[in-house]
Amino acid sequence: MERIYNTDFYVKDFDAIVTAVDGKEIELDRTAFYPGGGGQQCDVGTLAFGGRQISIMETRKGDCGRILHVSDSDSGLSAGEKVHCSIDWSRRYGMMRHHTALHVIDGIVEKSYGGLMTGSQIYPDRARMDLDIPNLDRTKAEEIVREAQKVIDQDHKVVMKVLTMEEARKIDGLARTRPGIELMKKLTEARVVEIEGFDMQLDGGTHVANTSEIGRIEFAGYESRGSHNKRVEIRLA
């Protein structure tokens, strides 16, 4: 099964062949629908076939590396049929912009503030992150967002690369959180997202091609959840 979202983040429409159907769950021979993960929500969209169109309400990972496209009603599809697939692009593109914005902030948190982003949640219209930074308060969090804007305005190219584990282990800070470090031990290759000249991280999600596509970050919320966890929310204008 070809995962188009692993090699091209900008495919919105594609043709595919149905390989299996179980009730509302449809499997395809290739897909650009992101199944969710790493804080980024799954894609939704439509499948068109034989003059009909059905909605895909959710995409999720099944067992054994399968990807399940969950329709809103019984599709009547069967294996071997051709379908034309479209992703809800405004939702996906919003998540790409917010995802790359979080990587810029993560890079600043690590390089300039000696801290960590311990968790994140990405939505089409906003993103939130949990930060563990010594003496972080609201003023400092706003300063971090301003620093991120400076980096975004430098128009850095963003590229996805697949590294061998030998190459990946030579790069400091590729995985920053404990789950990421544990994951690195099990992988046979490392998919990384590089903000050229600024940051490189282990990542499975989808991103914009240049930081200029992020636009302006607005600081949208701050909440203290303990000495090691401050939750910050951003929104893109």
Residues lying near Zn ion in the complex (CB under 5 A): 203, 205
Q: 83 vs 95, which CB is nearer to Zn ion? A: 95
The nearer residue to Zn ion, 77 or 104, going by C-beta atoms, is 104
CA separation for the pair 154, 34 (Å, rounded): 28
Query: Least CB distance from residue 123 to Zn ion, whole Å?
Result: 14
Torsion angles phi and psi, residue 167, rounded to 5 = -65, -45
- To Zn ion, the closest distance from the beta carbon of 22 in angstroms equals 31
How many helices and strands, by DSSP H and E, does the chain display?
4, 15
Whether 98 and 83 have beta carbons less than 8 Å apart is answered as no
Strand partners, 82: 17
Q: How far is the CB of 180 from Zn ion (least distance, A)?
A: 10
Residue 17 contacts residue 82 (beta carbons within 8 Å): yes
| Closest residue to Zn ion: CB criterion | 203
* Minimum CB distance to Zn ion, residue 101 (Å): 10
In what helix (H) or strand (E) does residue 141 lie, and over which residues does it extend?
helix 138-152
Nearer to Zn ion, 48 or 184 (CB): 184
Q: Which is nearer to Zn ion, 147 or 203 (CB)?
A: 203
Q: How far is the CB of 4 from Zn ion (least distance, A)?
A: 18
Residue 117's DSSP bridge partners are 131
| Closest CB to Zn ion among residues 180, 215 | 180
Cα separation, 163 vs 222, in Å, equals 36
In degrees, to the nearest 5, what angle opens at C-alpha 112 toward C-alphas 156 and 221? Answer: 85
